[in-house]
Amino acid sequence: MSYLSKLISFDNPAFCGYITYSSILVLKMMVMSILTGSQRKKHGVISSPEDAAMLKGKQIIESHPDVDRVRRAHLNDLENIPIFFLAGLGYVLTDPNPAIALNLFRMYTLARVAHTFVYAIYVVPQPARGISWGIGYAITGYMAVRTMLHFGRF
Amino acid sequence: MSYLSKLISFDNPAFCGYITYSSILVLKMMVMSILTGSQRKKHGVISSPEDAAMLKGKQIIESHPDVDRVRRAHLNDLENIPIFFLAGLGYVLTDPNPAIALNLFRMYTLARVAHTFVYAIYVVPQPARGISWGIGYAITGYMAVRTMLHFGRF
Amino acid sequence: MSYLSKLISFDNPAFCGYITYSSILVLKMMVMSILTGSQRKKHGVISSPEDAAMLKGKQIIESHPDVDRVRRAHLNDLENIPIFFLAGLGYVLTDPNPAIALNLFRMYTLARVAHTFVYAIYVVPQPARGISWGIGYAITGYMAVRTMLHFGRF
């Protein structure tokens, strides 16, 4: 039998690592909403008129660079992390070397946390953001190409 | 054997509920495109110059609060629902109590539908939107933390 | 036993096709970042002040229609492709006719590539973009409805 479900096992470190680091990335993306909210509150920037009442006594403005920066970092997560979820799952089903797989998941997660940090928390000059983005991009691309070639059912 | 695939079964109510409610959430997100299109048509707001021909005879404007509101609700879905897809799948693989799992999936789906309703269909004063968003956020966070601790392959 | 994991098999063309075409869609979405970067460089549009140093000697502007166009195409991918990942997986687990499933995955992928082409690479008058978007939308909707009815655990 060539069920792939033997790879979807508590005994497969690659699969467990995929689920663990994907959960961490979910939590990391959830932090973006908190960051956005705190920047909105700090600068008095609301997204909708009905939110004005929540910032009463504060001068309401249309936008602020700090809010926009967190929003861009969040959008960059949306562009990159859901495709990693898919590529990472496909990659686990190609039965990769577990140690390599775990290291790729670790590197990807670290790179995305670093990306948010240098983009939206403590701004570091380029190419800090470019490099952290590029590491995640390269890992996702490697996994997607490997998965596509392994399954190859066009 | 510790295959997790025994949980990926038609006999597991938690898995079937996950797939059912995730499909409903896919359809709910698809509705956002219809809402956007109808608001664009109503107010004559186009996203690209080549769309002008489709609204002929109508005054074309750059943007309108009703269009922007639906777009924000859609973006909020993009920020929240794909991470639920991942967290929910991980959670099902932790072998949760099926009744609790089903209730969490039901609550999450109701909360996201309510979020769209109070944000983009019939605007209700805050904290209606904040509460509906927060319920979904808390459920996703609970599932992601539980999954991370259960698999724990760092 | 009614494990669904027998469908998650190297012998199931529907599952292999799902993984193959989803990987292609991941790579297709990754291309959007390259397109955005090249349009930004061409027109001197930066997203963050710290990027100005990377375009030295060039006049920096706030925005450009070509950059905005690629960004809209990318956002449209984010609105449509992650929900296809979920709907497509659910659909494979309904044990569809493999030939039909493969053709739907092929059509979906072609439609999304065409959407990007007519939206952001070589602008074609409407309804080219609307049709390519609509094909992908209809396929996702069909899969989500079929999955919801098949599992039906409300």
C9 contact B CB<8A: no
Kindly identify which residue of chain B lies nearest to residue A74, measuring between CA atoms: B79
Smallest CA–CA separation between B2 and chain A, in Å? 6
Banded model confidence at residue C53, pLDDT cuts 50, 70, 90: confident
Closest residue in B to C76 (Cα) is B33
Of B8, B30, B51, which has the smallest distance from its Cβ to C4's Cβ?
B8
pLDDT at position B54 is: 78
- The amino acid sitting at B106 is R
Residue B151 pLDDT: 96
Q: What pLDDT shows up at residue B2?
A: 61
Task: Count Cα atoms within 13 angstroms, Cβ side, for B115.
Answer: 28
- Could you report the per-residue pLDDT of A41-75, keeping only the tens digit for each? 999 998 888 888 877 767 888 899 999 999 999 99
Domains of chain B: 3-34+65-151 (1.20.120.550)
Cα end-to-end span (Å), chain A? 22
Give the whole-angstrom CA distance, residue C48 versus residue B126: 32
Q: How far is A127 from chain B (nearest CA, A)?
A: 26
The tens digit of pLDDT for each residue in C80-93 reads 999 999 999 999 99
CA distances in angstroms from A153 to A111, A142, A146, A149, B61, listed in the order given: 31, 18, 13, 9, 46
The answer to whether the Cβ–Cβ distance between B90 and A23 falls below 8 Å is yes
Considering only the beta carbons, identify the residue of C8, C51, C106 that sits closest to A5.
C8
Mean pLDDT, all residues of chain B? 93
State yes or no: pLDDT of B57 exceeds 80. no
Specify burial of residue C87 (Cβ count, 10 A radius: 0-12, 13-18, 19+). Answer: buried
C145 pLDDT band, cuts 50/70/90, is very high
The whole-number pLDDT of residue A56 equals: 73
Pick the more confident residue, B58 or C18.
C18
> Are B153 and A13 within 8 A, CB to CB?
yes
Interface of C with A in 69-88 (CB under 8 A): 74, 78, 82, 85
Q: Identify which has the larger pLDDT, A146 or B57.
A: A146
pLDDT in tens, B6-55: 899 899 999 999 999 999 999 999 999 999 999 999 999 988 888 888 77
Measured in degrees and rounded to the nearest 5, phi and psi for residue B119 equal -90, -45
Q: What is the mean pLDDT of chain A?
A: 93
Please report the pLDDT score of residue B29 as a whole number. 98
Report chain A's C-alpha Rg in angstroms. 19
Q: Is B144–A30 a contact, with Cβ atoms under 8 angstroms apart? A: yes
**Average pLDDT for residues B135-143, to the nearest whole number?**
98
Model pLDDT for residues A110-138, shown as the tens digit of each residue = 999 999 999 999 999 889 999 999 999 99
Looking at per-residue confidence, does A55 or B71 come out higher?
B71
Residue C95: the pLDDT is: 95
Q: What is the pLDDT of residue A2?
A: 61
H-helix or E-strand containing A27? helix A13-43
In this prediction, residues B115-138 reach a mean pLDDT of 94
Rg (C-alpha) for chain B, rounded Å, is 19
* A56, two tokens: 């009463």
Contacting residues of C for A87, CB less than 8 Å apart: 23, 26
Give the residue-averaged pLDDT of B57-83: 92
Q: What is the DSSP string of B84-130?
A: HHHHHHHHHTT---HHHHHHHHHHHHHHHHHHHIIIIIS---TTHHH
Closest Cβ–Cβ partner in A79, A137, A151 for C16: A151
Residue A77's contacts (CB-CB under 8 Å, 6 or more residues apart) are A28, A29, A32, A112, A116
Question: Do B3 and C5 count as a contact with CB atoms less than 8 A apart?
Answer: yes
Q: What confidence category does residue C2 fall into, taking pLDDT thresholds of 50, 70 and 90?
A: low
Residue B110 contacts C where some CB pair is shorter than 8 Å = no
